[in-house]
Amino acid sequence: MFDDTFFDQLPADPILAAHRICEAFCAFDCNIPDKDKQGFLEHYLTALGAFQAFADAYVLNFDFPELSGDREKNTREIRQFFITLRDALDAEVAKLTVEQAKHRFTGRFAPASYFEFSDENLKKLRLLFTSIRYEVERLTGLREEMRWRLLRKLENSECKLQKRLPDLDRLWGFMGEARVILGTTDEDTKLILDRINEIARITRITQAHLVTSGAPGTANDKR
């Protein structure tokens, strides 16, 4: 049902990826006659295990079915889990799809003014986001709901990051919320806060260089 190629081609957004996995399971399940489904329990168990590994990697909290020694019940519970989750994610996926399309086509309709990152600073920001994600995932004193909230905020800011932005509100919002969330743990978060401060420094530099469409010159790539 799932192989390495399937997982390699999943969307970067974890919600979209979870929905894609559920859709793949449901498509597989629909091709099996009801009277034969129990005979495919091993496939269903493998699919559930793969999805649990995916959820753990992205700190996604789902109500996974409790399995027993009853093959018929296990088959029914696993099928119901994927079908219900797919339906529950439909609305969220619709919103994300619209948001991604909006982000994709924003560059075609250049605003009258925008903020432009230098190539060097854009690369730095992406490396900083990657480093913060790694450190947040390693924190042991952070509540799981707080970790999930911070990683989602990070993912949302990172996926919208591009060389030219009409505003920098998303970056400032991420930094503010990150500091609040990190303040809820007694664990040493200095390394993460240092990374956030560096993002703030780059954002302040970029904010001071508003570019107007049609104006001569561009942002300094060395700043």
pLDDT (tens place) for every residue of the chain, 223 residues total: 788 888 889 888 888 889 999 999 999 999 999 899 889 999 999 999 999 999 988 888 889 999 999 999 999 999 999 999 999 998 888 888 887 787 777 666 655 678 899 999 999 999 999 999 999 999 988 888 888 989 998 998 888 899 988 889 889 989 998 998 998 888 899 999 999 999 999 999 998 888 776 544 444 444 4
Cβ pair 27, 2 in contact under 8 A: no
Task: Using CB atoms within 10 Å of the CB of residue 211, give its burial: 0 to 12 exposed, 13 to 18 middle, 19+ buried.
Answer: middle
- The phi and psi torsions of 206 (rounded to 5 degrees) equal -70, -35
pTM for this structure? 0.49
Q: Which amino acid is at 179?
A: R
| Nearest residue to 81 (alpha-carbon basis) of 61, 67, 68, 65 | 65
How many of the other CB atoms lie within 10 Å of CB of 140?
A: 6
- Give the helix ranges, DSSP H, for 107-165: 119-138, 144-159
Cβ pair 2, 47 in contact under 8 A: yes
